[in-house]
Chain A
Amino acid sequence: MSATTMGRPVVSSIRLAWSFTGWRRLVTPLVLVLAWQALAMTGPISVRTLASPLQVLVTAWGLTVSGELPWHLAVSLGRVAAGLAIGVSLGTGLALVAGLSRLGETVVDAPVQMLRTLPFLALVPLFILWFGIGETPKIALVALGTAFPIYLNVFAGVRGVEPRLVEMGRVFGLDRRGLIGHVVLPAALPQALVGLRMSLGTAWLSLVVAEQINANAGIGFLINDARDFLRTDVILVGLLLYALLGLLADTLVRGLERRMLAWRPQLVRN
């Protein structure tokens, strides 16, 4: 702190250096991408194996301008949104039934826990038999995959409520509805949002698998189609898109957490 009186420039240059530490983390990835580009340009990596970064960018631009990429993106997003909406509502609903009543737990929890041990992606053949090869099995797969993480977390959240807070609520005259609304559900919210985040992760995973099922649109279709024509650049554009969508979803939930959990000690700024 003695530096503040005599050495303002010193202090601020130190601050400046600190603020660059974030950027420093980008150096290695950047070097790798440059090396990749160099290897692609000089020959060691053929375009059949892996398109160059520059090529990927050019292709992405071309696909965007032609409207192809936005169309496939919209189809994929639609599938995820529909599957997620169904899966998350179903998971949350079942978790509340199981979490809030003993009877509900007996009826719901056991079968859900059993189903959970099944790798849900293994159900694809069955889903094709049941739902055909249209949109239904794709959305159903996303819905199934997303229902479990949200179920487990909402259930754990509801059951993890501090019992003394419930007692306090009873002492101050809250009835069952009041207890659920004022105490149990808000207490379960942080865990529920963790579940939502995990569900979003699973949603993309399910989408990748679902779009291998005879799709004629969507990012998965784009990738499969590109494989048949040895277009590694298009495949890379698709992969990049999956990654970006996952990142975007995560950012969305983080934003949601910041808004809805403003009361949490680690988020409270005081």
Chain B
Amino acid sequence: MDGSISPILLDGPGGARIRNLTRRFQGPAVLDRLDLDIQPGQFVALLGASGSGKTTLLRTLAGLDPVPDDAVVALPQPVAVAFQQPLLLPWKTVHSNVALGLTGADANARAAEALAEVGLTHRLHAWPATLSGGEAQRVALARALVRAPGLLLLDEPFAALDALTRLRMHALVLDLWRRHRPATLLVTHDVDEAVALADRILVLEHGRIVLDVANHAPRPRDRGAVEFLTLRTRLLERLGVYSHEGVFA
């Protein structure tokens, strides 16, 4: 442990720094003295079964849950989130959704530019209700990226999409990440997704990080390659869904 006691929520020196984060609602701790550093520009995937504390960690980093007094949470600002659901405001056009909360004279131009980056220039003035699931999630990505985030939180943003759209979204996210290089934390329960995208993969269990592996394979990654499959098996085993007889879940 780092020794810092005071609660801090301000610009970290480059990367994200979390120390001694404990969250307890009733019963056992949901997050248990969690320490985590994310380097600037690093793409980290966080795996964990339901109830492992993924959501609580993400909510705390997003500023939606309070930081306890004895914890340190120093994050590169601004923090932007793409949620599991797109959560677009249905009464605002796609463009206004992306521009939400932006200030400055160039806000509109920046929003349009972000939408161009996710390939939605032709949907600028569409109502969210007319978008497909993939389009809506791309708008949500544009809304997060337009803020030039220091830390980008991705909360299972592809979980609700069909398999093909999900693969396209993976490519898009990688492309955007390479261009903007925010420190990125992708929360997911999809091991393949984690191995395909991240530099570093964490497994959360009972509120603690029980596995922290680097993944330096060059991108784009071949999902059939031996090292891909080896890492995948290792992670599945750690998550307790893989035995020698095969996959249980």
Contact = CB atoms under 8 A, between A and B. Distances in A.
B36 interface: no
B130 A172 contact: no
B62 interface: yes
Interface string A142-172: 0000000000000000000000110111111
B101 A264 contact: no
A182 B100 contact: yes
Given A164-B83, A171-B80, A268-B129, 12 more contacts: A164-B85, A164-B87, A165-B87, A168-B81, A169-B100, A172-B143, A173-B101, A182-B89, A182-B101, A186-B92, A263-B128, A264-B90
A172 B147 contact: yes
Given A170-B63, A174-B101, A178-B101, A189 B81 contact: no
A186 B130 contact: no
Question: What secondary structure prevails in chain A residues at the interface with B?
Answer: helix
Interface of B: 62-64, 78-81, 83, 85, 87, 89-92, 100-101, 127-130, 143, 147
A264 B129 contact: yes
A212 B128 CA distance: 50
Interface of A: 164-165, 167-174, 178, 182-183, 186-187, 189, 261-265, 268, 270
Main secondary structure of the interface of B (DSSP, over half): loop
Nearest to B144: A172
A262 B83 CA distance: 26
Contacts, number: 56
Contact of A263 (B90, B101, B143): B90
Contacts of A172: 80, 100-101, 143, 147
A263 B85 contact: no
A167 B142 CA distance: 18
A39 B66 CA distance: 78
25 contacts: A165-B87, A168-B83, A169-B100, A169-B101, A171-B63, A171-B64, A171-B81, A172-B101, A172-B143, A172-B147, A173-B78, A182-B89, A182-B92, A182-B100, A182-B101, A189-B91, A262-B127, A263-B127, A263-B128, A264-B90, A264-B129, A265-B90, A268-B127, A268-B129, A268-B130
A182 B90 CA distance: 11
Contact of A167 (B64, B127, B130, B143): B64
Given A165-B87, A165-B89, A182-B100, A171 B129 contact: no
User: Which 8 A/B pairs are nearest by Cβ-Cβ distance?
Assistant: A265-B129, A186-B91, A173-B101, A168-B87, A270-B130, A172-B101, A263-B127, A263-B91
A265 B90 CA distance: 9
A168 to B, nearest CB: 4
Contact of B64 (A170, A264, A265, A270): A170
Nearest to A168: B87
Contacts of A173: 78, 101, 147
A204 B129 CA distance: 36
A170 B63 CA distance: 8
Contacts of B79: 171
A183 B81 CA distance: 17
A183 B89 contact: yes
Contacts of A174: 100-101
A169 B89 CA distance: 9
Contact of B62 (A169, A171, A186, A268): A171
A167 B63 CA distance: 10
